[in-house]
Structure 1
Amino acid sequence: MSATPPDFGAEHDRITSAKAWAEYRYAQTERACYDKFFVTRCIDKAKDVRRTELHTIRERELALDEAERADRAARRDQDRAIREAQYNAERPQREAAEQKNRTDFQNKQEQQRLNEAQRQAEAPQRAANAQANAQKQAEHDAKLKAAQEQGAANAAKRAENVKQFQEKQQDAAQRQKELEERREQTKRRNEQNNNNASPLGF
C-alpha cells in the first residue's frame, strides 16, 4: 500500500457533482416534458433516467465508502504491524536493560548482605577495641590522678621541709643570741668582780 493515502475527498466531490448534474438534467428534462403531448410518459422516462444515474452514482458512493473503510483498516493494520515490529526489534535491548536492572539490584542486595555480615563479624573486634580504649583511658586517668596526688604530696613535703628549715634557722639564731647574752653576762660579771677586788689583793 502506498504511503500517500488515496484522494477520497476528490472522489466525493466528483460524486456530489454527478448527483447535482443528474438532478439538473432531470429538472431540465421535466421542464421540457410539459411542452410535449405525452407529458406523464416523458416525465416517467426522465425519472427512470435519473433513477438509473443516481443508482450508478450510489454504487460509486458505496464503493468509495467501502474503499475508505478498507483503507483505514489497512492503515490501522499497517500501523499495528509497524508498532509490533518496532516492539519486537527493541525487545533484545529492552530485555538487556531489564536484565541489567535485575543484576544491579541483585548486586546491591548482595553487597548489603556482605556489608551486614562484615559489620557483624567486626562487632566483637569493635567491642574489644572500645574496651581496650576505655582501659587505656582509665589507666591514663589513673596515672594522671596519681601524678597529681604525688605532685601535691611533694609540694606539701617541700613546704614542710622549708618550714622545718626555717624553724631550725630560728632555733639556731635563738641559741646564738642566748649564747652571746650569756657571754655578755659573764663578761660583765668578770668586769664587776675585777672592779670590786682590793688594790692590795685582799
Structure 2
Amino acid sequence: MRTFPLLFSLAALAALPVQPAGAQSEGEKINQLIVYGDDACPASTGDTITVCARKEEQERYRIPEPLRGDPQAPANQAWSNRVKAYETVGATGTNSCSPVGAGGATGCMAKLIESAYAEKEQAGDKRFGKLIAEERAKRLSTIDADAAATQARVEALEAQYDAKLKAERDAEDAKGADAAPLPAPPK
C-alpha cells in the first residue's frame, strides 16, 4: 500500500512549474503550467509571462510519461546504443571510464555528459524554453503598436491642454481690453 502515496507525490511533482536556468530576464516572471483537455490557459498579465503546455485529458491523473516504465530495459534501448556498447568493451586507460589502468576514471564525466544530452534529445516532454521564446516574441510584436497608440493619446491630450490654455489667455485679453479703454492719442 506504499505505492499510492508515492504515486500521488510523483503526480504532484509533475504538476509543479519548471524553471529553466537563465530563462528569466530582469523584471519579468514566467509562469509555466501544464493544462489538460479543454482547460483554459490563464492570460499573461503585466510583467508575468504565462506559458501553458497542453496535454490530453486522459493524462491528468496519470504518472508523468518520463517516469512510466523502465527506460533502461533492454527492449527500450536502440540498436545503435547496443553496438556502441560493444565498441568500448575491453577499453582501459585514459578516457575509458573504467576502473582498470591509470587515468581510467577520466572519461566518466564525458560519458555522463554524453548520456545526459542523448537522454534530453530523446525526451518527448514539452520544451518550456521554446514556448517561453514564442510568448516573448508574441509580446514584443505588440510593443511598437502599443507605443504608437500611447504616443498618439499623449499628443492628443497635449493639444487639448494647449487649446485650453490659449482659450483662457484669449478670454483674459478680451476681459482686459473691455475693462480699461486705451487712452486717446495726443493732439
TM-score by length of 1: 0.32
Higher percent of residues as helix: 1
TM-score by length of 2: 0.33
Higher percent of residues as strand: 2
